[in-house]
A and B are shown apart, each in its own frame.
Chain A
Amino acid sequence: MEIAKLALRNLTRQKKRTLLLGGAVAFGLMIVTVINGFAAAFVKNVSENFANLAAGHVFVEGVEKSATGKEISIVHDDNAIMKAALEAKIPAKYITKRSSFQSTLLYAGKTAQLQVSGVDFASETFLPDRLVFKQGGIEGMDDRQGVIISEPIAKRLGVEPGDRILVQMKTYTGQQNVGEFAVAGITFDAGIFGNMSGYANKSYVNELLNLASDDYQAVGFYLPSLEGMDKYGADLRAALKEKVQVFEKNTATNENPIRAMMESSKKETWVGTKYRVFTLNDMLSQVQQIVNVLNTVSLIILIILFVIIMVGITNTFRIIMYERIREIGTMRSMGMQRGEVRNLFLFEALFLALGGAVAGLVLASIAMGIVSLVNFGLDTPLFIILKNGHMTFRVEFWRTLLDVVIVAVLTLLAAWLPAKNAAKLDPAVALRTAK
Chain B
Amino acid sequence: MVIVELQNVRKVYPLGKVEVEAVKGVSFSIEKGDFISIAGPSGSGKTTILNMIGCVDRPTAGTVLIADKATKDLTDKALTTLRHETLGFIFQSFNLIPVLNVRENIEFPLLLGKSRLQKKEKEEWIDYLIEEVGLSQWKNHRSNELSGGQRQRVAIARALVTKPSIVLADEPTANLDSVTGEQILELMKKINREMQTTFIFSTHDAKIVNIADHVIRLSDGLVTENLRKGEHVTASQVGLDTAEGGRV
Chain A interfacial positions (CB closer than 8 Å to B): 2-3, 6, 9-10, 12-13, 326-327, 329-338, 340, 426-428, 431-432
Contact = CB atoms under 8 A, between A and B. Distances in A.
A426 B55 CA distance: 11
B100 interface: yes
Contacts of B100: 6, 9
Contacts, number: 69
B76 A338 contact: yes
Q: Shortest 8 CB-CB distances between A and B: which pairs?
A: A335-B84, A428-B57, A9-B99, A2-B111, A427-B56, A330-B95, A428-B56, A334-B109
Contacts of B76: 338
A335 B80 CA distance: 5
Interface residues of B, number: 28
Contacts of A10: 99
Given A333-B83, A334-B83, A335-B81, A340 B54 contact: no
A332 B80 contact: yes
A427 B84 CA distance: 13
20 contacts: A3-B111, A6-B97, A6-B100, A9-B100, A10-B99, A13-B98, A326-B95, A327-B98, A329-B95, A333-B56, A334-B84, A335-B84, A335-B109, A336-B80, A337-B77, A337-B80, A338-B76, A338-B77, A428-B57, A431-B56
Contacts of A6: 97, 99-100
Q: Tell which of B47, B76, B87 has the most Cβ of chain A within 10 Å.
A: B76
A10 B109 CA distance: 17
A329 B170 CA distance: 14
B162 interface: yes
Given A330-B91, A428-B51, A428-B57, A336 B112 contact: yes
Nearest to B82: A335
Interface of B: 47, 51, 54, 56-57, 76-77, 80-81, 83-85, 87, 89, 91, 93, 95, 97-100, 108-109, 111-113, 158, 162
A100 B108 CA distance: 80
Contacts of B83: 333-335
A327 B96 CA distance: 8
Nearest to B98: A13
Q: Tell which of A329, A335, A431 has the most Cβ of chain B within 10 Å.
A: A335
A330 B77 contact: no
